[in-house]
Amino acid sequence: MKVFDKIADVQNEIAQLRKQGKTIGLVPTMGALHEGHLSLVKRCVAENDVCIVDAFVNPTQFNNKTDYDKYPRTVEADAKLLEGAGAAIAWFPTESDIYPEPDTRVFNLGPLAEVMEGPARPGHFNGVAQVLTRLFDIIKPDRAYFGEKDFQQLAIVRELVKNYNIPVQIVGCPIVREADGLALSSRNMRLSADERKHALRISKALFESLKKMDTMSVAEVRKWVCDEINSEPCLEVEYFEISNSLTLQPVENWSDAENIVGCITVYCGEVRLIDNIQYKKA
């Protein structure tokens, strides 16, 4: 595996690979890698001649400076994990490389960005669009891989490449969970041992809610999940939306859409955790 930090170096390497007719897959990350990221890397390795992984904590997608400052940065450990997972190139760009000057672009992301994380984190998805369009322009990958844990982000990335005619195939990959059900997240390493135990209530409530579709309305399930999680010490639901999986607009009835997703964000102490569940009709 080759490790780069400068854009010029990674682009020179890509140019040589393109001359050899190699297909290139990209896994964009913010580092602090875990098995969830590695599942994306392994799929990318399987489906492309070359797998490139970048690890860049993007400042423009944080609307909370404290969250940005505390976001885990584990470059050496990340490099070892990526080599073990079969990545061909690990790229750790600097902020000055990604943003040689302030990025003032504003993207039209439509209704998908106006719900859930949109109001909760103003400017977040615009920052995601800024960094991804930079990465896609620099790497020009054939495919890019994203986890379904960030369900809304994945939907917006698909809309972004369609609306802005970016020639890359977006591949979504399933959520990876710990054996006890907790969705893997880089933020989990910020949880204390007690907080980690309390956080299990999030996935537990989501999975239990699947059994209540036959006897409860959408509104009742929403309230039940929020009450279950909020009853746990140190947990506070920021939002829980049950929505059409394609439009991300809230549904009122289980029959309102063919595919329905429940997306949740919960504060566990100071750590903000997200998760989601697919509601399947029997």
Active site positions, annotated = 37
Element (H, E) at 279: strand 271-279
Residues 22, 85 contacting (CB under 8 angstroms): no
On the 0-12 / 13-18 / 19+ scale of CB atoms within 10 A, 269 is: middle
- On whether the CB atoms of residues 205 and 229 are closer than 8 A, the answer is yes
Task: Report the DSSP beta bridge partners of residue 242.
Answer: 262
Buried b (16+ CB within 10 A) or exposed e, 94-113: eeebbbeeebeeebebeebb
- Distance from C-alpha of 137 to C-alpha of 49, rounded to nearest angstrom: 19
